[in-house]
Amino acid sequence: MAFVEKKLPDDASAAAKALNWVDSRFPLTQLWNDQWGKYYAPKNFNFWYIFGSLAMLVLMIQIVTGIFLVMHYKPDANLAFFSVETTIMRDVPWGWLVRYMHSTGASAFFIVVYLHMARALMYGSYRKPRELIWLFGFAIFLCLMAEAFFGYLLPWGQMSYWGAQVIVNLFGAIPFIGPDLSLWIRGDYVVSDATLNRFFSFHVIAIPLVLLGLVAAHLIALHEVGSNNPDGVEIKDNIGEDGHPVDGIPSHPYYSTKDIFGATVFLTLFSAVVFFAPEMGGFFLEYNNFIPADSLKTPPHIAPTWYFTPFYSILRATTSEFLFVVQGGLAAYVAFIFVKSSLAKTIKTAIAAIALVAIAGMMPGALDAKFWGVVLFGGSVVILAFLPWLDHSPAKSIRYRPSWHKLVYIVFAIAFVILGYLGVQAPSPTGERISQVCAVIYYGFFLLMPWWSTAGTFKPVPKRVTFTPH
């Protein structure tokens, strides 16, 4: 096909001519229109739909501030702490601001992502045909956890050092390969300069590249099947004479203006934290992390940063006594599947066999509680990926589900927050019991979802979105 460049009027502006020159060689305008400018989104979005764009904003903040931090950071066990606390925080002009923006941005990222996931839970944004969007989002979440974990060691403070030591040692609980796996991750027999260097390379290069690719895939998949909405109605089922959804509006300028307003509010709150409370009482930046790492002095209480603690609490709650509860729960769950589930007999048998092996592995003298803590810790994250196939509700949105379903979500949210809070507290017998109860609620929410999500009287779902202009 011959190259053809669009003819413009002689009085066209220089900008229009430049854009035409680019469009003739690269589909810039087409990409903008397909992905945002003329992408039709449901007209009934509410404030819960702001967190996707905020996540993109925080990602840009983290990338830009990270680039400036790398300019002055020294990935060396003898120099890392002082490159952060002296060079960046005191010697580099505005270095303290860049560092606090990056550390606050890490927590802001998880706050925004958790709220983004909460919206998906409420409105069923993971349901057909958006399963792949959810899986890409779940992969992004895993990358964020890995990115935060690798970056957590870099300041080389006491909590960074010992937190990394504890988390890496968890892999040692895996039978047969555990010790070698821990050694491979550390690059040494203890957390050392080798660990710091490999964590630095993963944090700065490897994970961000994967993360950016997943974000692009997430957005492309979203714009391919279309956005969900608070009603859970597919707007592509009602197409107007112009070929666009009747209940859709162009993202630009309608949602661009809302996103700009949301970003303004977010940046105001973000700036308030950066300038007035960057440590956030020790939740965003632990006080022990302002002390240089000392391999000979263990802090009295080691805990990961707050965004890991809901899952960390499940790990810490898994004791030899709690394993008896897990065994009983597994046996009851398998019996429940055989009685209530419509799964094929072969699948039921496979589930029963896996449960039987797990129950045998939890018996006294078999695999220890530390191993099963790691299994439940990992399972509490991985189970999120199966949401599209666990939720069998006739209605996607919580608006048209039975009222008591809202209570289920509220109880789950409370249990999740309690797990997060207890994870940053020092271990105690009372806290351990509460964590165990919340762990049962957490797993029960997902494992019993195929049944409770279909129970009750559902409200009729409208054919078109409900929207009141304001």
Per-residue pLDDT reduced to its tens digit, 269-319:
999 999 999 999 888 998 889 999 998 888 888 888 899 999 999 999 999
pLDDT score of 5: 76
- Burial class from Cβ neighbours inside 10 Å (0-12, 13-18, 19+) for residue 87 reads middle
Please report, rounded to a whole number, the percentage of residues in the chain having pLDDT higher than 90.
73
130 in Cβ contact with 225 (< 8 Å): yes
For 343, the 3-state DSSP assignment is coil
Smallest CA-to-CA distance from 443 within 412, 414, 469, 405 is with 412
Could you give the CA distance from residue 312 to residue 435 in angstroms, rounded to a whole number? Answer: 10
Could you give the CA distance from residue 445 to residue 422 in angstroms, rounded to a whole number? Answer: 20
Can you list the residues of the chain whose pLDDT is less than 70? 1-4, 469-470
Could you give the CA distance from residue 370 to residue 316 in angstroms, rounded to a whole number? Answer: 9
DSSP 116: H
Smallest CA-to-CA distance from 304 within 316, 295, 317, 290 is with 316
pLDDT score of 151: 95
Could you give the CA distance from residue 270 to residue 337 in angstroms, rounded to a whole number? Answer: 47
Where in the chain do CATH 1.20.810.10 domains reside?
36-302, 303-455
Could you give the CA distance from residue 145 to residue 154 in angstroms, rounded to a whole number? Answer: 15
Could you give the CA distance from residue 267 to residue 284 in angstroms, rounded to a whole number? Answer: 17
171 in Cβ contact with 182 (< 8 Å): yes
Classify domain 36-302 at the CATH class level. Answer: mainly alpha
pLDDT score of 457: 94
464 in Cβ contact with 236 (< 8 Å): no
pLDDT score of 28: 87
147 in Cβ contact with 209 (< 8 Å): no
Other C-beta atoms closer than 10 Å to the C-beta of 143 total 20
| CATH 1.10.730.10 assigned to 303-455 | no
pLDDT score of 225: 92
pLDDT score of 10: 74
Could you give the CA distance from residue 449 to residue 455 in angstroms, rounded to a whole number? Answer: 10
pLDDT score of 145: 96
For 42, the 3-state DSSP assignment is strand
Could you give the CA distance from residue 384 to residue 412 in angstroms, rounded to a whole number? Answer: 13
Q: Where are the alpha helices (DSSP H) in 401-448?
A: 403-423, 429-447
